[in-house]
Amino acid sequence: MNEIHISNIANELNLTLLQVRAVCQLLSEGATIPFIARYRKEATESLDEVVIASIRDMLGRLEELDSRKEAVLKSLEQHGHLTDELREKVIAAPTLAVLEDIYLPFKPKRRTKAAVAKEKGLEPLALLIFKQEGADPDQEALSFVDIEKGVETVEDALSGARDIIAEIVNEDQQARSLLRDLFAAKGMFICKVASGKEQDGVKYKDYFDWLEPASNAPSHRVLAMRRGEKEDILNLTLAPLEEDALALLEKLFVRTEGKDSGQVRMAVHDSYKRMLSRSMETEARLFTKEKADAEAIRVFAENLRHLLLSPPLGAKRVMGIDPGFRTGCKVVCLDRQGKLLHHDTIYPHFSEKGENEAVLKTKELCERFEIEAIAIGNGTAGRETESFLRNIEFSGKIPVIMVNESGASIYSASETAREEFPDLDLTVRGSVSIGRRLMDPLSELVKIDPKSIGVGQYQHDVDQSALKKSLDDVVISCVNKVGVDVNRASVQLLTYVSGLGPQLAKNIIVYRDENGPFESRSKLKKVSRLGAKAFEQSAGFLRIIEGENPLDSSAVHPESYHIVYKMAEDLSCSVEDLINDPVKRSNIDIKKYVTEEVGIPTLNDILEELAKPGRDPRKELEEFAFQSGIEKMEDLRAGMKLPGIVTNVTAFGAFVDVGVHQDGLVHVSELSDRYVKNPADVVKVQQKVTVTVLDVDIDRKRISLSMKKVPGEKIKSENIPEQGKNKKFSKKQVQPVKPKNTPFNNPFEKLLNIHKV
């Protein structure tokens, strides 16, 4: 392990060296994040999954930096530039940007203007002028005029010398560092509509004449502007005031008011306009993109977590319905394990005869398969099908529940669905997915690429590898938090269990199919290629319901079973007694069981698990119904108060399904009567809310909603926390909508003029 990296990570995350070292050691041994967080609390002093993931990510970035340093040192050595001093600088570089600045003067490059000037023998002249010791540039340049070398005049010589000086300025490490800070602190996004694209880019009209500080531009706006640029609708630049940048460079390089300094000043200006401004803008754009990506990915991951941990109905016999008008509603009947028993089609919306036949068939299927709940997809004809079902008088109470079917069509056409139901139509597969989502959202949603679930923000614009890594972390975290019934789980669900993966998951299914259900966790060791390490990592997250050992259904790890046995022995009772009798558990003195390997955190976890062995940590499912009679956008009126379900949370607000096939937006300013900086602090995906309709735009399919007690009421500025205010720019400067041709009344107007299309 690299102790320097451990020290840097500890300082950055405000952790102890022991904590970071323990996590790094466990990760290097193949331990997973859920396993470390749950079963190695003594080693890490109870660090949670978020912190452990941060350590892993920082370690990865530092290792990438090390790899780049090795490549730079190898290049410097190959080209004869490497000195002891340069080696020390490279090794000590704290960031990739600093490393590249050190390497830049020696980096193999194409034939530049400065290289051409050096070939003409003008480097001595450039260095003489750059010293700024009072030399007369015109006089000194005379001796460098050489027609054979292509230097025909004094101005040719001076021009070449300035090219060399400009490159020196461009490669100066201090200059680049100061400019980088300037771009970060005072850089502005300058966005204009591309010539002739006004009609094509209506959705980007807010950005047709847009200016805002890059330092606090929100993620969604950065990604929106970049998308508009990619689609050739917008022209986007990022820069501070040019005079600020030039003043900074002049202070650094121009020392006098003499003629030689005048040449240096010209070279400095040329260096900034031709080289530095471009490279700094590229860096700044990359930095703001990474920052915007990180926020968008964070929002997506948080939404996905809440969706995956949605309350399950549990093991019930379910009828799943994929609603439709012309093609009818595809109906499936599932047993308590989610196995398909029957599928059919009803046509309740086709005609009165079709409705009557649908009523009879639905009642008959519910009775034949003893259906305990009905799940309806919330797509086309969803509300109409819901109304139809609620009007049926079943022999017993059967709850009718609408299910978010986002991504169900992706599953229907997937390899997973084809393997499971090779002979069934896509719509029937979709109905099965809808029914299973009600029973256990987590088990069903893991079969779908998280990006297809529809709870993200600009997910196609962010770094895809970073997005996949983050979403995989969330799925793994959720699966292991809930635990997996090894005798019922699909191969997709088992894949995400700590220590397993696709191949071991398949091997478990094969063993289960050949030998029947697992009676104990210890039998997992008989699975092909499931060795001691995989068993250690996975066993605590796999559940054996009603198996030989009651602890096998709990989150107590097999490595700790002996502790529970000892507790039971000391109290002269069985393990079952410990689980069933809270009085006996209250008599346990956990300090008696502390050892060098097992501490209080693990012992507390064991006691908590004995009190609720294998209990699902997710909340219980609550019945929900949309407002009766409100089924399409045309039914909405301003002022209506309606029940709804949050379907997506973004940086600018939350989308809410009110049952009209089009989600409405609760803008961040309408989420609460108090100031809200982060919508996720107020609402979560799948949360049930009450909203007020503010406006309905049927042509643009937009619904504006509010969650305030007094909708539309503005929050007084004095009530806004300081961090929610813009300290350096007036409100007028950062408003997204500005009348066309109205100039910005601020010092950055020059930037807009400079970058006019």
Instruction: Please give the average per-residue pLDDT across 625-631, as a whole number.
Output: 88
pLDDT at 753: 43
Q: What is the pLDDT of residues 41-87, one digit of tens each?
A: 999 999 999 999 999 999 999 999 999 999 999 999 999 999 999 99
Instruction: Please give the average per-residue pLDDT across 650-673, as a whole number.
Output: 92
How does residue 730 score in pLDDT terms, banded at 50, 70 and 90? Answer: very low
Give 134: exposed, middle or buried? Use CB within 10 Å, 0-12, 13-18, 19+. Answer: exposed
3 state SS of 654: strand
- Pairing relation of β-strands 664-667 and 653-657? antiparallel
Q: Which CATH superfamily is domain 318-439 in?
A: YqgF/RNase H-like domain (3.30.420.140)
Distance from first CA to last CA of the chain, Å, rounded? 53
Q: What is the pLDDT of residues 160-171, one digit of tens each?
A: 999 999 999 999
How does residue 404 score in pLDDT terms, banded at 50, 70 and 90? Answer: confident
Residue 32 burial (CB count, 10 A): 22
pLDDT at 129: 96
How does residue 740 score in pLDDT terms, banded at 50, 70 and 90? Answer: very low
Which tokens is 212 given?
């805002």
Residue 344 makes CB contacts below 8 A (sequence gap 6+) with: 330, 331, 361, 365
Location of structure tokens 């121009």: 254
pLDDT at 715: 58
pLDDT at 17: 95
- Average pLDDT score, the chain: 89
Extents of the domains making up the chain? 3-106, 113-304, 318-439, 633-725
pLDDT at 750: 44
CATH of domain 633-725: 2.40.50.140
Cβ–Cβ under 8 Å, residues 367 and 337: no
Give 15: exposed, middle or buried? Use CB within 10 Å, 0-12, 13-18, 19+. Answer: buried
Residue among 500, 526, 322 at smallest CA distance from 424 = 322
Location of structure tokens 């005609």: 351
Q: What is the pLDDT of residues 478-525, one digit of tens each?
A: 999 999 999 999 999 999 999 999 999 999 999 999 999 999 999 999
pLDDT at 755: 42
How does residue 354 score in pLDDT terms, banded at 50, 70 and 90? Answer: confident
Instruction: Please give the average per-residue pLDDT across 257-261, as a whole number.
Output: 94
Helices and strands, number each (H, E), in the chain: 31, 15
How does residue 729 score in pLDDT terms, banded at 50, 70 and 90? Answer: very low
CATH of domain 113-304: 1.10.3500.10
Residue 755 makes CB contacts below 8 A (sequence gap 6+) with: 190, 192, 235, 237
How does residue 620 score in pLDDT terms, banded at 50, 70 and 90? Answer: confident
Residue 340 predicted with pLDDT over 80: yes
Q: What is the pLDDT of residues 87-113, one digit of tens each?
A: 999 999 999 999 999 999 998 888 899
Of residues 359 and 728, more confidently modeled? 359
Q: What is the pLDDT of residues 203-254, one digit of tens each?
A: 899 899 999 999 999 999 999 999 999 999 999 999 999 999 999 999 999 9
How does residue 451 score in pLDDT terms, banded at 50, 70 and 90? Answer: confident
pLDDT at 453: 80
pLDDT at 716: 52
Residue 756 predicted with pLDDT over 80: no
pLDDT at 14: 96
Cβ–Cβ under 8 Å, residues 687 and 646: yes
192, 210, 484 from 195: Cα distances, Å: 9, 15, 57
CB-based burial, 557-590: b 16+ in 10 Å, e otherwise: bbebbebbeebbeeeeeebeebbeeeebbeebeb
- Give the sheet arrangement for strand 340-346, strand by strand: 340-346, 329-334, 318-322, 373-377, 400-403
Residue 739 predicted with pLDDT over 80: no
Least confident of 213-217, 452-456, 593-597, 730-734: 730-734
Greatest distance between any 2 Cα atoms in the chain: 108
Cβ–Cβ under 8 Å, residues 674 and 716: no
Give percent above pLDDT 70 in the chain: 94
Least confident of 563-567, 689-693, 719-723: 719-723
Of residues 450 and 649, more confidently modeled? 649
User: Is 3-106 CATH 1.10.10.650?
Assistant: yes
Of residues 741 and 497, more confidently modeled? 497
Cβ–Cβ under 8 Å, residues 161 and 129: yes
Q: What is the pLDDT of residues 519-571, one digit of tens each?
A: 999 999 999 999 999 999 999 999 999 889 999 999 999 999 999 999 999 99
Residue 586 makes CB contacts below 8 A (sequence gap 6+) with: none
Let me know the angle formed at the C-alpha of 598 by 596 and 603, rounded to the nearest 5 degrees: 150
Beta-bridge partner residues of 69: none
Residue 747 predicted with pLDDT over 60: no
DSSP character string of 20-66 = HHHHHHHHHTT--HHHHHHH-HHHHTS--HHHHHHHHHHHHHHHHHH
How does residue 744 score in pLDDT terms, banded at 50, 70 and 90? Answer: very low
Q: What is the residue type of 523?
A: K
* Four-CA torsion 635, 639, 640, 642, nearest 10 degrees: 120
Nearest-angstrom CA–CA distance, 265 and 260: 9
Query: What are the contacts of 643-646 at 24+ separation with CB within 8 A?
Result: 643/688, 643/689, 643/690, 644/688, 644/689, 644/690, 644/691, 644/705, 645/404, 645/686, 645/687, 645/688, 645/689, 646/683, 646/684, 646/685, 646/686, 646/687, 646/688, 646/689
Query: Strand (E) positions, 515-571?
Result: 542-543
